Amino acid sequence: MRFNVLTIFPKIFKIFDHGVISKAIDKNFIIECYDIRKNAINKHGQIDAKPFGGGEGMVMMPEPLKKTLIDIPKNERGHIVYLSPQGKQLNQDKVIELSLMKNITLVCGRYEGVDQRFIDKYVDEEISIGDFVMSGGEYPAVCLIDAVVRNLPGTIGNSDSIENDSFYKGLLKGPVYTRPKIFDDINVPETLLSGNHAEIKEWKESKSFIQTYLRRPDLINNVKLTKKQKKLLEELASKDIL
């Protein structure tokens, strides 16, 4: 898989020299950064200008972006994504969809955004990582790349780790525990120490559902519930925990 990144701060993506993503890069996964400033319109490195019609800040001009996009071989551009507050919010379903693509190009905006004409002509999809504003598209791009690449075969050593993550099955992951067995007079739940795999599995599934009900009840509406989950939902609702 290949990610092309259009950015004015390529050094930000050096973060992928560390952690599990660096292991994926060693297995021929590619992140290639293309510096937009190399295609500036003048010797001063200008890539932005004041918006027509007035308004605050500066807007990234379409010419440097187009020239930078053209620097990428056409057969390697793939799906072109602009990281934008106006985009559809990234979720696990979208992450999995993107993980099945061979080539993805990410456009990282700055300032007050990107000239709409570039978006209309060259961008396939706009994606947001949440309802908040950041100083540029680089950090959202980092989040997207990390989320996508960890779903690629071989990135995570144990595939069960991915399948039991929060959101993978539509619910949050429940609480987890490790050594010591007693910490500040608080014991690890006995079920987890029992060695009974069926009971442990049932405990984890139950806690996952309860955690989701308490913290993100909106997620439950998008999940096809099992009979056990329906019964648990009725019990939780009757207790009026929320």
Residues with active-site annotation: 85, 112, 150, 165
Rounded CA-CA distance 20/156 in Å is: 7
DSSP for residue 152: S
Q: State the SS3 of 31-88.
A: EEEEEHHHHCCCCCCCCEECCCCCCCCCEECHHHHHHHHHCCCHHHHCEEEEEEEEEE
Cα distance between the two ends of the chain: 43
For residues 55 and 41, is the Cβ–Cβ distance under 8 A?
no
E strand segments, the chain? 2-7, 30-35, 48-49, 59-60, 79-89, 103-108, 125-128, 182-183, 186-187
Tokens 């500036």 found at: 40
Peptide bond preceding 189 in cis form (omega within 30 of 0): no
